[in-house]
């Protein structure tokens, strides 16, 4: 998962123009959002911190087995504002995850609330664990 994430970020990097102006970070390398990922019997849940991303600026895309989560930070800024301090240095989030085959990508549910994205990726019905009866011979 993480290897894929690295590769994805690199390809993205080479396409972007070099950013030299600290005041205009539109082309800065997007931030990989912090995530929690856990699995239960029926599927995988992914929580991602994407503060400032609204429903309209969120993009969850599936390309083959690559699930890309992307979002733009929407802030209404006064025109004459200049940055004094910046810990968040890009107005964009992006992270790519590779799904494995037993997951049912067609039934992914996405939910965005207060800047936290929740994705629910169910397992294919036949992939759910089932107990195998051991019969005494």
Q: Which is nearer to another protein, 111 or 135 (CB)?
A: 111
Residue 16 Cβ vs another protein, minimum distance, rounded to whole Å: 18
Query: Which of 36, 61 has the CB closer to another protein?
Result: 36
Query: Shortest distance, CB of residue 137 to another protein, whole angstroms?
Result: 30
Question: Closest Cα to residue 30, out of 48, 16, 45?
Answer: 16
Name the minimum Å distance from CB 17 to another protein. Answer: 19
C-alpha atoms less than 13 angstroms from C-alpha of 129 in its C-beta half-sphere: 6
Which of 5, 7, 1 is closest to 39 using CA atoms?
A: 1
The smaller minimum CB distance to another protein, of residues 78 and 106, is found at 78
- Contacting residues toward another protein, per CB under 8 A: 1-3, 5-6, 22, 32, 34-41, 45, 47, 49-54, 73-75, 77-78, 80-89, 98, 100-102, 113-116, 118
Distance in angstroms (rounded) separating the CA atoms of residues 71 and 58: 4
The residue (of 14 and 41) whose beta carbon lies closer to another protein is 41
- Which residues does 59 contact at the CB level (< 8 Å), separation at least 6? 68, 69, 70, 71
Q: Least distance to another protein from the beta carbon of 37, Å?
A: 4
Four-residue CA torsion sign, 21, 24, 30, 32:
positive
């Amino acid at each position: 998962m993480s290897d894929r994430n690295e590769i994805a970020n690199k390809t993205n990097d080479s396409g972007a123009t070099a950013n030299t102006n600290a005041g205009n970070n539109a082309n800065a390398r997007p931030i990989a959002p912090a995530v929690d990922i856990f699995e239960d019997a029926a599927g995988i849940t992914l929580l991602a911190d994407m503060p400032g991303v609204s429903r309209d600026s969120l993009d969850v895309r599936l390309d083959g087995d690559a699930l890309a989560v992307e979002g733009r930070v929407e802030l209404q800024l006064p025109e004459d504002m200049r940055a004094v301090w910046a810990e968040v240095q890009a107005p964009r989030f992006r992270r790519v995850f590779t799904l494995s085959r037993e997951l049912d990508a067609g039934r992914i549910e996405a939910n965005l609330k207060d800047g936290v994205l929740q994705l629910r990726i169910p397992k294919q019905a036949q992939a759910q664990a089932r107990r195998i009866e051991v019969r005494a011979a």
